[in-house]
């Protein structure tokens, strides 16, 4: 017999045994026989109490009969609702056929009898023009009954992985996040449809869901700086803390006061000292409304007002016209005029008053 066929048979025997040991949903849901027994016994007691005219006992038995009837009804309703598992039992011949068919679907497949694994190699996976390399899907068939995900996905070309080690948008730490395929994969394993299992995993690897990926493809090899557009990778990527924009080291700005990193849009220079600050560290002058940092804004004389406005106020205060001083007469004529101003008019005690 072919060596490969022998390996397939030996692996299939172990798998068949594993799957038969796995507790699966019963073919037919359990019938509530105990509840039926309780109900019929309660009916007999009620009938006996009625015949004997034991009124109190009859009342109690009727209550018990009613309770048992309700429980039986609920249980029969659940019985009718339960899904009957109609999937065929795992057959050794089908397992062997599945294992033999792997060669036709995958670039490479092999069975490790000692490690009790089956592995297949995919073609080179390419998503949105980005080559991710080949992947190996390794099924540990000795864990089929114990583990919910008895398989791993290994990257065979790790140099194509993202810098954080993520080899595929939906693979992390050798675990595939199967998403839409999760239930179908689980069902295929439970039913021993190994070929379907490997096909399903491969189809997940062949597709990309940008809304739910460990690492997005547009960030696979660095990101574009939001401000200058240069490609930036790894530790050279900085983030604007207020808005989250990704920037290169040349474009990122550190606020002079709080030191947080900002982009050009989230920062501004102080009108006075011109040093760059984040918007949170700039305040508007109460007078001129321009933006200033804290040290340039709070004048000694007037908080919330910039130095320029304070100076301007002082200057304006100095320029206000004062009351003109009394001028002393400098000539005789002026002095005479000053002394001949009438105090009294024509009559003593009377003076001409203006209208």
User: Where does 41-167 show beta strands of DSSP type E?
Assistant: 108-112, 117-121, 125-127, 130-133, 135-140, 151-155
Quick note: the x/- pattern for other proteins over 221-260, rule CB under 8 A, is ----------------------------------------
Q: Shortest distance, CB of residue 168 to other proteins, whole angstroms? A: 8
Query: Per the structure block, which two tokens stand in for 38?
Result: 């309780």
Q: Please tell me what DSSP assigns to residue 180.
A: G
Q: Please tell me what DSSP assigns to residue 226.
A: T
276 close to 255: Cβ distance less than 8 angstroms: yes
Task: Check residue 24 for interaction with other proteins (CB under 8 A).
Answer: no
Task: Check residue 101 for interaction with other proteins (CB under 8 A).
Answer: yes
Per CB under 8 A, which region of 74-82, 98-106, 272-280, 317-325 contacts other proteins?
98-106
Task: Check residue 139 for interaction with other proteins (CB under 8 A).
Answer: no
Cβ neighbourhood burial of 342 (10 Å; 0-12, 13-18, 19+): exposed
73 close to 66: Cβ distance less than 8 angstroms: no
Rounded-to-integer distance, Cα 247 and Cα 232, Å: 8
Task: Check residue 96 for interaction with other proteins (CB under 8 A).
Answer: no
Site for other proteins in 174-213 (CB under 8 A): 176-181, 183-184, 187-188, 191, 193, 195-196, 199-200, 203-209, 212-213
> Whose Cβ is closer to other proteins: residue 98's or residue 227's?
98
- Applying CB under 8 A, which of residues 97, 138, 154, 161 lies at the interface with other proteins? 97
Query: Per the structure block, which two tokens stand in for 330?
Result: 């400098």
Task: Check residue 116 for interaction with other proteins (CB under 8 A).
Answer: no
> Whose Cβ is closer to other proteins: residue 91's or residue 228's?
91
Q: Nearest 5 degrees, angle CA 243-CA 248-CA 254?
A: 60
Rule CB under 8 A: which residues touch other proteins? Answer: 86-88, 97-98, 101, 104, 169-170, 176-181, 183-184, 187-188, 191, 193, 195-196, 199-200, 203-209, 212-213
């Amino acid at each position: 017999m072919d060596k490969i066929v022998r390996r397939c048979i030996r692996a299939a025997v172990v798998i068949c045994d594993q799957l038969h040991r796995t507790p699966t949903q019963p073919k037919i849901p359990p019938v509530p026989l105990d509840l039926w027994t309780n109900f019929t016994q309660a009916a007999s007691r009620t009938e006996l109490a009625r015949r004997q005219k034991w009124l109190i006992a009859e009342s109690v038995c009727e209550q018990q009969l009613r309770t048992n009837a309700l429980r039986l009804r609920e249980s029969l309703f659940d019985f009718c609702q339960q899904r009957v598992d109609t999937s065929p039992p795992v057959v050794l011949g089908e397992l062997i056929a599945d294992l033999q068919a792997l060669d036709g679907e995958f670039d490479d497949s092999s069975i490790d009898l000692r490690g009790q694994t089956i592995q297949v190699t995919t073609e080179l996976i390419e998503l949105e023009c980005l080559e991710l390399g080949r992947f190996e899907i390794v099924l540990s068939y000795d864990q089929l009954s114990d583990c919910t995900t008895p398989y791993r996905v290994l990257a065979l070309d790790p140099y194509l992985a993202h810098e954080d080690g993520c080899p595929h948008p939906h693979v992390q730490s050798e675990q595939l996040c199967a998403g839409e395929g999760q239930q179908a994969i689980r069902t295929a394993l439970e039913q021993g449809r190994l070929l379907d299992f490997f096909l399903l995993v491969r189809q997940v690897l062949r597709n990309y869901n940008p809304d739910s990926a460990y690492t997005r493809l547009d960030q696979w090899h660095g990101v574009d700086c939001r401000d200058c557009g240069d490609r930036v990778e790894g530790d050279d990527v900085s983030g604007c803390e207020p808005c989250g924009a990704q920037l290169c080291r040349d474009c990122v700005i550190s606020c002079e006061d709080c030191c947080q990193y900002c982009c050009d849009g989230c920062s501004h220079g102080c009108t006075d000292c011109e040093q760059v600050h984040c918007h949170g560290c700039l305040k508007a002058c109460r007078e001129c409304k321009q933006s200033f940092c804290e040290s340039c804004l709070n004048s000694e004389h007037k908080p919330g007002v910039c130095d320029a406005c304070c100076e301007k106020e002082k200057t304006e205060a100095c320029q206000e016209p004062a009351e003109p001083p009394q001028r002393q007469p400098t000539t005789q004529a002026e002095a005479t005029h000053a002394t001949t101003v009438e105090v009294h008019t024509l009559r003593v005690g009377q003076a001409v008053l203006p209208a």
